[in-house]
Structure 1
Amino acid sequence: MENLLLLHGALGAAATLTPLAQAMQGQFKVYALDFSGHSGRAVTQEPFSMALFVQDVLRFLEENQIQSTHIFGYSMGGYVALHLALHHPQRVRSIYTLATKFAWSAEAAAKEVKLLNPEKTAEKVPAFAAALARRHHPQDWKQVMRKTADMLLHLGNQPTLTAGNLPQLQLPVQVAVGDQDTMVSVEETLWAYRLLPDARLQVLPGTRHPLEHVAVSRLTEEIRQFILQVSV
């Protein structure tokens, strides 16, 4: 049975992928992990970064004696997966990304960071703030949000996935995006698709950015079909 590792998005947690993990059980050996500082994991002094989260994945693979795996990465999780494959290609069999942002610049990062102000979030979207507090307990969700904002600002100035290195990814990748995603454009997803040597492009109709707005049954079947195709 093939291994499948699920990677969550920014401010997320492995638990946000539980419905998908449950749906994929029996078809694959399904794993999920929490990145450093998320879902109650210790928030270290080290800044959030792609390198830090890649180390989280490598550690998880070693602890679970997984030599290589297919990866589904939602949003930031897809970016981490591709970064991992660039530096440790032997550990990754294929990658399916959903709603992963590829067009990083100082302007794009500044736009995203405006949505990552803990004080404004607590004031204007208290239900979301409460959900983050529960998700990251006993850690301070506000600190998680601030460190995420800092990471995005750094990514805006120094993207780790570029037109120079994406063509180096010699593995099957499916990049998927919703046609109603206001955070990730079809155009930037198409940009990445054209640079990847062995890529497939998928635009999901009537789909917004939040993972909970994607039908689990549809996503399960799309991932299953992709892995079956590339595992032949």
Structure 2
Amino acid sequence: MQHLLLLHGALGSKDQFQPLVHLLEDTYQVHTFNLSGHGGQPLPGSAFTIQSFSEHVARYIQDMNIKTVNVFGYSLGGYIAMYLAQQMPDTITKVVTLATKFHWDEKTASKEVKLLDSKTIQEKVPAFAEQLQQRHAPVNWTSLLDKTKELLINLGTNNTLQLEDYTGINTPCLVLLGDRDKMVTLEETLAVYKQLPNAQLGVLPATPHAFEQVNLSLLAFMIRKFIK
């Protein structure tokens, strides 16, 4: 049975994937994983980076004695999956990304960072603040927000994967985007898809950015069809 590792997005956790795990566990040996500082994992003393997240994932793969693995990454998890495919081509068999923001510059980062103001979240969407608190306890969710904002600012200054870097990722990739995603553009998704030597592109209908609003039966079908 093939291994399938699911990587969550920024401010997410592996628990969000449980409904998807149930749909895929008969086909794959499914692994879920909390990135540093997420889902109760301790916050590192150093800054969040794509490289450090990827090293954390690579250690998990090694510790589990996994020789080859398929990776599904949602949002930031998809970016990490692409970086892993670049760095570990013999280990990463296939990559599926959904709702991954590939294009970062200072203007983009500034826009996204404004959405991560803890006071605004507490005042305007207190239910989300409570969700973040419960999801990441005992980590202080406001500290996690600060680390995430720093990551995005740094990506805006120096995007870890430049567009030309994708030409060197030979791993088969399925790049997915929801047609109602207001964070990730079709243009940036197409730009990366066109650079990848061995890629497929898919658009999920009636699908916004939030993972909780994704049609998981359709997503599971597309993952299965691509990985085979």
Q: Which category describes the TM-score, using the shorter chain as reference length? A: over 0.9
CA contact (8 A) 1:186 1:203 kept: no
Match of 2:171 in 1: 171
SS at match of 2:101: coil
- Tell me, what secondary structure is at the counterpart of 2:163? coil
Matches within 5 A, 1:37-186: 37-186=37-186
Does 2:52 correspond to 1:34?
no
Q: 1:197: which partner in 2?
A: 197
Matched position secondary structure for 2:20: helix
Superposed, 1:190-229 pairs within 5 Å as 190-228=190-228
Find the aligned partners of 2:14 and 2:89 in 1 and give their Cα distance.
Answer: 23
Taking the aligned partners of 2:165 and 2:186, their CA distance within structure 1 comes to 20
- Once the two structures are TM-superposed, the CA of residue 163 in structure 1 deviates from its matched residue by 2.1
TM-score, structure 1 length as denominator? 0.97
SS at match of 2:12: coil
Between 27-36 and 115-124, the greater mean CA deviation after superposition: 115-124
The one-letter amino acid of 1:195's match is Q
CA distance in 2, matches of 1:118, 1:47: 19
Letter in 1 for 2:52: L
The residue type equivalent to 1:212 in the other structure is E
Q: How many pairs were matched up?
A: 228
**Does structure 1 conserve the Cα–Cα contact (< 8 Å) formed by 2:207 and 2:215?**
no
Q: Counterpart of 2:227 in structure 1: which amino acid?
A: I
Aligned counterparts, 1:14-25, within 5 A: 14-25=14-25
What letter corresponds to residue 60 of structure 2 in structure 1?
F
* Kept after mapping to 1: 8 A contact 2:104/2:155: yes
Deviations 1:91-141 (A, max 9, x none): 200100000001111100000000011111111110000000000001100
Separation in 2, partners of 1:104, 1:222: 27
- Give the Cα–Cα distance (whole angstroms) in 2 for the partners of residues 61 and 223 of structure 1: 20
TM-score by length of 2: 0.98
**Which residue matches 2:188?**
188
Cα displacement (A) at 1:87: 1.3
Q: For 2:142 and 2:163, how far apart are their aligned partners in 1?
A: 34
Secondary structure at the residue paired with 2:164? coil
Q: Is the 8 A contact 1:104 1:159 kept in 2?
A: yes
The answer for unaligned runs of 5 or more in structure 2 is none
Deviation at 1:196, TM superposition (A): 0.4
Supply the distance in 2 between the matched residues of 1:198 and 1:115 (Cα, whole angstroms): 34
Measured in 2, the distance between the counterparts of 1:62 and 1:220 equals 26
* Structure 2 CA distance for aligned equivalents of residues 158 and 45 of structure 1: 21
Supply the AA of the counterpart residue of 1:24: L
CA distance in 2, matches of 1:217, 1:203: 14
- Contact 1:4/1:70 (<8 A) preserved: yes
| Structure 1: 4+ residue segments shifted above 2 A | none
The Cα RMSD (Å) is: 0.7
CA contact (8 A) 2:23 2:220 kept: yes
